[in-house]
Copies of this chain bind each other. A is one copy, B any other.
Amino acid sequence: MSKILAITGGVGGAKLALGLSKILSADELVFAVNTGDDFEHLGLHISPDIDSLTYALAEENNQELGWGRAGETWQFIETLGQLGGENWFRLGDKDLALHMQRTQMLRSASTLTEATAHITRAFGITHTVVPMTDDAVRTIVHSDQGALAFQHYFVREQCRPAVSGFEFAGIESANLNPIIAETLEDCRGVIICPSNPYVSVDPLLSLPGMREALRNIPVIAVSPIVGGMAIKGPAAKMMQELDVPASAPAVAAHYGNLLDGFVMDLTDADQRSEISVHTRVTETIMNSLQRRIELARFCVEFLHAL
């Protein structure tokens, strides 16, 4: 069956992803996930965006914290801190088990795609979730404090450094996940979820062959910027530092001619005329499951109308 490919980063995009998973069957939908912010920490392979999506789709995400797993405890990381260990990355006790299982599978020569399939299945997720690539791509944030590994910028430095650019180390030799390539061969359309354009979506779009593969497929994006602010994360701050207006039209311009359609929030309706691509306006703030489903339906209908 002709499928829809949803491109997503972590927490923000995962909200729309959950909505999509509620209206499209496992045969109709594939999630392609950023792995540019993956990193090795304490000997573990951590894939923050895959994990955020996994927890969201399993409805096991921690709603109080806005990240991580529900019902989490922190004995490990607190004890590690007491022993003088590295505790800036707050690994929950349950979350740690997921990283351990992935790492063990990678050590046993599984691919990240295979490890992700195993783990999402264990969470009862029936939809296909795939890393953008099985090869190592690592986002480097260039900033006024020098070049920082993404998680050092994002978690350790809490996005305080002013960014000047991004680099996806390893991208030239990384292979687009074959499951994504295959999905795009018979694809109804692509939805770019409201994730950070620079550090969640661009790594995926920068994979060799990805933009070419999207050429004849309808692509829409949902703006992660609403009313000049990012719903989640440092997107608006980054845009300001890059001398780009923190606005929905600037997001549309960033994606450029890749897009066939753009979805922006009602709040920004007055900026619609600044966008050259076909744009629809709706409520995009997904503070309930109902809103996630409604926005998902809106996007799928938009894709079909293109």
Which residues in A have some Cβ–Cβ distance to B below 8 Å?
42-44, 72-73, 75-80, 82-86, 92-94, 96-98, 100-101, 103-104, 107, 118-119, 122
Least Cβ–Cβ distance between A293 and chain B, in angstroms: 28
Instruction: State whether A93 and B118 are in contact (beta carbons under 8 Å apart), knowing that A104-B42, A104-B85 are contacts in the complex.
Output: no
Chain B residue at minimal CB-CB distance from A44: B43
Chain B residue at minimal CB-CB distance from A72: B75
Bound-complex Cα distance A83 to B54 (A): 13
Contact of A93 among B76, B86, B103 (CB under 8 A): B76
B80 near A101 (CB under 8 angstroms)?
yes
A selection of 5 A-B contacts at a CB cut-off of 8 Å is A42-B104, A76-B76, A76-B93, A79-B97, A85-B97
A94 near B73 (CB under 8 angstroms)?
no
Chain B residue at minimal CB-CB distance from A71: B75
A75 near B77 (CB under 8 angstroms)?
no
Q: What chain B residues lie within 8 Å of A73 (beta carbons)?
A: 73, 75, 93
A43 near B104 (CB under 8 angstroms)?
yes
Least Cβ–Cβ distance between A262 and chain B, in angstroms: 38
Bound-complex Cα distance A61 to B107 (A): 33
Copies held by the complex: 2
Instruction: State whether A97 and B84 are in contact (beta carbons under 8 Å apart), knowing that A73-B73, A73-B75 are contacts in the complex.
Output: no
Instruction: State whether A118 and B84 are in contact (beta carbons under 8 Å apart), knowing that A43-B104, A93-B93, A107-B43 are contacts in the complex.
Output: yes
Contact of A85 among B79, B93, B100 (CB under 8 A): B100
What DSSP secondary structure best describes chain A's contact surface?
A: helix
Least Cβ–Cβ distance between A289 and chain B, in angstroms: 24
Instruction: State whether A83 and B96 are in contact (beta carbons under 8 Å apart), knowing that A43-B43, A107-B43 are contacts in the complex.
Output: no
B43 near A82 (CB under 8 angstroms)?
no
Bound-complex Cα distance A82 to B94 (A): 10
Q: What chain B residues lie within 8 Å of A78 (beta carbons)?
A: 97
Contact of A83 among B43, B82, B86, B119 (CB under 8 A): B119
Least Cβ–Cβ distance between A59 and chain B, in angstroms: 16
Contact of A75 among B43, B83, B93, B107 (CB under 8 A): B93
Instruction: State whether A43 and B103 are in contact (beta carbons under 8 Å apart), knowing that A73-B73, A85-B97, A122-B84 are contacts in the complex.
Output: yes
Chain B residue at minimal CB-CB distance from A97: B79
Least Cβ–Cβ distance between A79 and chain B, in angstroms: 4
B104 near A76 (CB under 8 angstroms)?
no
Q: What chain B residues lie within 8 Å of A93 (beta carbons)?
A: 73, 75-76, 79, 93
Instruction: State whether A76 and B103 are in contact (beta carbons under 8 Å apart), knowing that A84-B118, A122-B82 are contacts in the complex.
Output: no
A98 near B119 (CB under 8 angstroms)?
no
Chain B residue at minimal CB-CB distance from A118: B84
Per CB-CB distance, the 4 closest pairs between chain A and chain B, nearest first, are A79-B97, A75-B93, A80-B97, A83-B101
Least Cβ–Cβ distance between A26 and chain B, in angstroms: 20
Q: What chain B residues lie within 8 Å of A101 (beta carbons)?
A: 80, 83-85
